[in-house]
Amino acid sequence: SQQGEEDPQALSIQEGENATMNCSYKTSINNLQWYRQNSGRGLVHLILIRSNEREKHSGRLRVTLDTSKKSSSLLITASRAADTASYFCATDEYSGGGADGLTFGKGTHLIIQP
Amino acid sequence: DGGITQSPKYLFRKEGQNVTLSCEQNLNHDAMYWYRQDPGQGLRLIYYSQIVNDFQKGDIAEGYSVSREKKESFPLTVTSAQKNPTAFYLCASSLEGGQVNYGYTFGSGTRLTVV
């Protein structure tokens, strides 16, 4: 099955700076989602963007989607120490109505330095 | 509060043993999923269920089994046929199966270790 690939694998920035993570995928999708995972915990859903949307905002999060390039980016503005976590993109591959679960990438590990 | 409860948080398995991981949700979600996560890796789908009494194999179903006798429960059994079971197991649910229109709600995970 297809898999999203996040880039970079790891990112370390100073508190207050903006953090940008990218995700690429391989086939047509219905939507793309971003999740956060704190160490040793479950994933938390952040935002869902549909294939007919180009940009979406939620608080300090901004997600873009370029279906022609099969890529998405997650921007976290004014980062805080509590944003330290791994971030995963997940895709729902278009299959004419059926769905067999989201496919996750390997994640970007974000560290916010105080 | 609604959510997903996974138990136990830590589980140790001896070689040749079957073990069962519990997943219960009170969100009235139709669909439930089991994922496996290895260190530094993404999540890989083991099994999923879109409705009660029905479930489908994911990408890595070999050595695992599930049941979905009740809407709120989706237990995962790791059998002795699974040769490398040490991993972090995550259960998730979504409002409905089929095309994914909603985010998933995840449990806090079970860390399984073979001793």
Cβ <8 Å between B99 and A97? yes
Going by C-beta distance under 8 Å and a sequence separation of 6 or more, which residues neighbour residue A55? A49, A62, A63, A64, A65
Which residues in chain A are closer than 8 Å to B48, comparing Cβ atoms?
A: 100-101
A92 touches A29 (CB < 8 A): yes
Summarised one tens digit per residue, pLDDT across range A42-87 is: 999 999 999 999 999 999 999 999 999 999 999 999 999 999 999 9
Indicate the pLDDT class of residue A109, thresholds 50, 70 and 90. Answer: very high
Report pLDDT for A96.
47
Residues of B in contact with A104 (CB under 8 A): 35, 42-44
CB contact under 8 A, A43 and B43: yes
- B48 at A interface, C-beta within 8 A: yes
Quote the minimal CA–CA distance from B83 to chain A in Å: 22
Q: Do B103 and A107 touch (CB under 8 A)?
A: no
Question: Are A101 and B40 inside 8 Å of each other by CB?
Answer: no
Q: Nearest-CA neighbor of A88 among A42, A37, A29?
A: A37
Enumerate residue ranges in chain B where pLDDT < 70. 1, 97-100
Tens of pLDDT along A78-103? 999 999 999 999 998 765 444 568 88
pLDDT at residue B1, rounded to an integer: 60
* pLDDT at site B92: 96
Distance CA A67, CA A9 (A): 22
